[in-house]
Structure 1
């Protein structure tokens, strides 16, 4: 199904990779769903499109499963924030675990031509750990930062995407807004017929 490629990114996904992660599992009308991380190849593609992993990473199922698991915990964290409820301990634990998997301090290196520089180590054996840590840090920054007040869930059923609200917008896309307005109009028409 190619619907996911035609769906525009939700507002805020360009600023926060964690929003894109949370929205990588899509609920569609008619009971359909799409998982952009549904296989190791799809997960590798998703990460490489966001410069979180090299194209040739050859991700295995265990790593893809870790990414999907983090996605569910990020979704739980965002849901709690949107509802104004405390985050589930499992979500906090998963975010913190991902944050502490890799060193965050840039190490000192020396280049023969340019001299000293600092860089965070990124060995290929830790590609997924670095991606998970980056996504977890992004989610943590979103829920504690100034944009957290704008974080909301799409108001069009069955859509399950999160986005950053601008103004009074209640939907993640024009498509969802049109579907919600059509559903309201249908409800009004059918109520008038039964009255």
Structure 2
């Protein structure tokens, strides 16, 4: 498969991903039928593309493997927090610490600058070496907002094996896509047919 896959070419965005970047983030590692796995953050170039498409980094950010590794690590911690929330279990302290660490990486206040021609203005500093910190902070903040906000009760894991994506449940829907829903219904129908033949 191409190195530059997009999430949409593999599966459409999961319900809620348009409102919560954190859902899109945790769903950037996609398990597919037949034991296939696609990681949209699998290489530095793919990670740079993913960040750029979401407005978290410029196209020429030059993401290196160390940066991609840090993003993949945060993704796994956020996935762990989502899994704990969905299962109603306590979160691992290391996952909470990783999110809090990411939250504290970027300054929250726009600083005061003074331009000789135009006078004072405020802007958030963002030198090149802070691009990753800002991306990590934005993703962590969005995950924390989802986990602590009113939509947290709608957070669920896709109910279709082997899919590993998360979504915000709408009504009774427990699948991240039509494809996963069809796969789950087909599996249930097959199980009913084989059960009735066995009886």
CA root-mean-square deviation: 1.5
- In structure 2, the partner of 1:155 is 159
* Partner SS for 1:128: helix
Of 104, 109, 128, the match for 1:105 = 109
Per the TM alignment, residue 102 of structure 1 is displaced from its structure 2 partner at its CA by: 1.8
- Give the whole-Å Cα distance in 2 for the aligned partners of 1:49 and 1:3: 9
- The answer as to 2:88 corresponding to 1:84 is yes
Of 22, 27, 30, the match for 2:31 = 27
- The answer as to 2:54 corresponding to 1:50 is yes
- In structure 2, the partner of 1:128 is 132
Per the TM alignment, residue 118 of structure 1 is displaced from its structure 2 partner at its CA by: 2.5
Query: Structure 1-normalised TM-score?
Result: 0.95
Query: Structure 2-normalised TM-score?
Result: 0.93
Per mean C-alpha deviation after superposition, the further-off stretch among 106-115 and 18-27 is 106-115
State the aligned residue count: 195
Cα distance, 1:3–1:46 mapped onto 2, change above 3 Å: closer
Cα distance, 1:130–1:43 mapped onto 2, change above 3 Å: same
Of 15, 19, 29, the match for 2:19 = 15
- Give the whole-Å Cα distance in 2 for the aligned partners of 1:147 and 1:74: 16
- The answer as to 2:146 corresponding to 1:142 is yes
Structure 1 stretches of 4+ moved >4 Å: 111-115
Deviations, residues 136-161 of structure 1 (Å, cap 9, x unaligned): 01100110011111111100010000
- Give the whole-Å Cα distance in 1 for the aligned partners of 2:131 and 2:115: 23
- In structure 2, the partner of 1:184 is 188
* Partner SS for 1:10: coil
Per mean C-alpha deviation after superposition, the further-off stretch among 106-115 and 61-70 is 106-115
- Gaps spanning 5+ residues in structure 1: where? none
- Gaps spanning 5+ residues in structure 2: where? none
